[in-house]
Amino acid sequence: MAADVRVPKFIRDPIHDIIRIDDPFILQLLDSAAMQRLRRVRQLGLGQMVYPGAEHSRFTHSLGVYHLASRMMTQIQQATGREVFDADTRRAVLAAALLHDIGHGPFSHVFERFTKELPGDGKRVDHEQWTIRIVDADEEVHDILESAAPGLAKNVREIIEHTYKPHYVTAIVSSQLDVDRFDYLLRDSHMTGVAYGRFDLEWMLRTLALSPVPAVSAGEGAEAATVETIVVDGRRGLSTLEEHMLGRHYMYRHVYFHKTIQAAEQMLVKALLRAPAVVRDGKALLCNDAFRKLAGGETLSEAEYLTLNDIVILGWIEDWQRSAEDKILCDLCRRLVQRKLFKAVSAPPGAKIPDIRKGNQAIEQLVRDRKYDPDYYMIENDVNDIAYKDYFYNLSRGARPGEQEIWFVDRDGGVRPLSGSDSVLIKAGDALEYEEYRLLVPDEVATEARRILKWN
Amino acid sequence: MDKLERLSRLRRLVEVAGGHVDGRKKLHKLAYLCQRQGTDLGQRFQFHMYGVFSPTLAQDLDAATTWEVLTEDQRGDQYEIRLGGQEMAEEGTPETGEGPGFAAVARLAKQSPQMLEVVTTLVYLWDLGYHGEQLDEKLGELKGHLRQCFARGKELARGYLGVDVEAEPTLAAV
């Protein structure tokens, strides 16, 4: 396995300026076929349909996450004044950070939506599960990890599964304060040109430390426990934290949930869902063995899954718009290639279920009247985000803290959950919730629907 | 799966659980088991410190209470989830009412939150490939404070969910 690997290596990066790599095994992982594939998977899927600069890849993002994981460990170690990351843990965090997205399919979340809707077994593998499979079963990746340190593959897998102890190790890579989020917000903001995601990273890192926090298990009467996790020094860092969370929320509103990006991605999902029917009918269709297996409802191996990336799919879409023996598939692909995307018709705020039902029925009729198949030409798009919410947050102040909390050190030195605080994120409540129910339909249908229904 | 169908199935889950569920955490665990046993709720689950949960389920629960499909009433420091006034029969399909996952929910709904936490964790670990001593060790590491529930949890998993934690599991397929 050993290649002639020289460290340290320095890689230029538009967000972090210079990324330094000191471990030979990290360079070997970067050079692996599975990691190199991430150069061909865009971070923002079809985001460049609206933000032409959004061409960045999962590869650059993964490098950024690796870099920040290293910095966060250094900061936490300095803040606590003790060795909290031994050599094995440090290697595992760095590897998990670098590899955390290795299982992403083409166009990131688009492919996951596609496989989830394939007919057949309802249990679908998401990108996190693919990441775990690749760490375990891709010979090249697994061998690099195990050559670096026996047991490293297992440790990396446990971090990604969220079963690694101590908890703060997992929290570096996956939590409300994780390096994944830090990098993608800065990177997506920079590459799209949308400023909301920019926050004071340097100060944020400086305010992080470890502390035991009260932990609750499900239900009454469970034995009280504490867990050591990452906390923010609220005496210095609360405003930076709020800036970061608000920025994330606005990025969801204006970038990730953008109606045109959603339209493009959902149309791509529909095109991919139409293609298997064409394959199963025995008609000629440009694709590869992995796609044919998916079309037939078969299981993919890791190696087959890794043959799929954005460039491969885009090549098919270009071909299908002209040569597919299926009108719907041709049309959807042509619309994608020529950016003739569906338009959003949004239910008014406060609409109740009877309003939604009535609207859906009316729009479906409009779609049929124009001889379109509603299964492909009427797509539900339901988006929802709130700036800060613990998933089990109880609205009464002082209630038991929930599991997805951010903890901070208050002015009196006590460690408290954000959900019980006076933070603007909590006080603003529903004002920082963004929710929209849309139907995505061809332009002419949207115009008519807005006229009839008074939807936007 | 569209939103109205997801809310319809969520309502059905609360219905088969006896018309109410004590707390959001318990709801997430019942929903996880329901989906795992073959009734798709359209949700995606993750594992964190204290067990399985679903961000998408949390959002759907919000919508369900806004649209009165379900209600949440505060009892002490916990919210009890009950059926709301908005019926969802129009979205129902034969699967909506009678999926195999709902049968599992009906059997396990009366278990304590601690027991459900142990059951869902050991099932989650088994699905990841842990079994036998390896599973015992990891379960102890994650849920040591609930050790008194382990033996019974394994029985419930075997009896109601078809999970034998001593046997090697098979991985999910695409």
What is the Cα–Cα distance from A154 to A156, expressed in whole angstroms?
5
Q: By three-state DSSP, how is residue B119 classified? A: helix
Cis preceding linkage at A8, omega within 30: yes
pLDDT computed for residue A221 by the predictor: 43
Q: Do A163 and B114 make contact, defined as CB atoms within 8 angstroms?
A: no
B94-110 per-position pLDDT tens digit: 555 678 899 999 999 99
- Whether B85 and chain A come into contact, CB under 8 Å, resolves to no
A14 CA to chain B: closest CA distance, Å?
Answer: 32
What is the Cα–Cα distance from A341 to B118, expressed in whole angstroms?
47
Mean pLDDT of the B15-25 span = 91
Closest alpha carbon within chain B to A219: B113
Q: What is the mean pLDDT of chain A?
A: 89
What is the Cα–Cα distance from A183 to A145, expressed in whole angstroms?
24
Contacts of A397 in chain B (CB under 8 A): none
What is the Cα–Cα distance from A222 to A7, expressed in whole angstroms?
49
pLDDT tier at B89, thresholds 50, 70, 90: confident
A197-251 per-position pLDDT tens digit: 999 999 999 999 999 887 655 444 444 567 888 999 988 889 999 999 899 989 9
Out of 1.10.10, 3.30.200, 1.10.3470, 1.10.287, the CATH code matching B1-109 is 1.10.10
- Whether B169 and chain A come into contact, CB under 8 Å, resolves to no
Single-letter residue type at B66: T
Candidates A132, A167, A391; nearest CB to B58: A391
pLDDT computed for residue A222 by the predictor: 47
Q: Do A162 and B113 make contact, defined as CB atoms within 8 angstroms?
A: no
pLDDT computed for residue B18 by the predictor: 94
Q: Is residue A310 within 8 Å of A41, Cβ to Cβ?
A: yes
Q: Which residues contact B133 (CB under 8 A, 6 or more apart)?
A: none
Residues (pLDDT < 70) of chain A are: 1-4, 120-124, 215-225, 386-404
Candidates B47, B55, B62; nearest CB to A163: B47
Tokens 């949930």 map to which residue?
A257
Give the residue among A169, A38, A13 at the shortest CA–CA distance from A95: A169
Candidates A123, A300, A394; nearest CB to B78: A394
Give me the residue spans of the domains in chain B.
Answer: 1-109, 111-174
Q: Do A122 and B67 make contact, defined as CB atoms within 8 angstroms?
A: no
- Whether A325 and chain B come into contact, CB under 8 Å, resolves to no
pTM for the full predicted model = 0.92
Give the residue among A19, A102, A95 at the shortest CA–CA distance from A57: A102
pLDDT computed for residue B50 by the predictor: 66
pLDDT at B174 over 60: no
pLDDT computed for residue B113 by the predictor: 86
- Whether A303 and chain B come into contact, CB under 8 Å, resolves to no
- The ipTM, to two decimals, is 0.85
pLDDT at B128 over 90: no
- Whether B122 and chain A come into contact, CB under 8 Å, resolves to no
Per-residue three-class SS string for chain A: CCCCCCCCEEEEECCCEEEEECCHHHHHHHHCHHHHHHHHCECCCCHHHCCCCCCCEHHHHHHHHHHHHHHHHHHHHHHHCCCCCCHHHHHHHHHHHHHCCCCCCCCCHHHHHHHHCCCCCCCCCCHHHHHHHHHHHCHHHHHHHHHHCCCHHHHHHHHHHCCCCCHHHHHHHCCCCCHHHHHHHHHHHHHHCCHHHCCCHHHHHHCEEEEEEEECCCCCCCCCEEEEEEEEEHHHHHHHHHHHHHHHHHHHHHHHCCHHHHHHHHHHHHHHHHHHHHHHCCCCCCCCHHHHHHHCCCCCCHHHHCCCCHHHHHHHHHHHHHHCCCHHHHHHHHHHHCCCCCEEEECCCCCCHHHHHHHHHHHHHHHHHCCCCHHHHCEEEEEEEECCCCCCCCCCCCCCCCCCCCEEECCCCCEEEHHHCCCHHHHCHHHHEEEEEEEEECHHHHHHHHHHHCCC
Q: Do B53 and A389 make contact, defined as CB atoms within 8 angstroms?
A: no
- Beta bridge pairs of residue B22: B80
- Whether B117 and chain A come into contact, CB under 8 Å, resolves to yes
Contacts of B147 in chain A (CB under 8 A): none
pLDDT computed for residue A441 by the predictor: 97
Tokens 């939590």 map to which residue?
A175
- Whether A376 and chain B come into contact, CB under 8 Å, resolves to no
Q: Do B77 and A399 make contact, defined as CB atoms within 8 angstroms?
A: yes
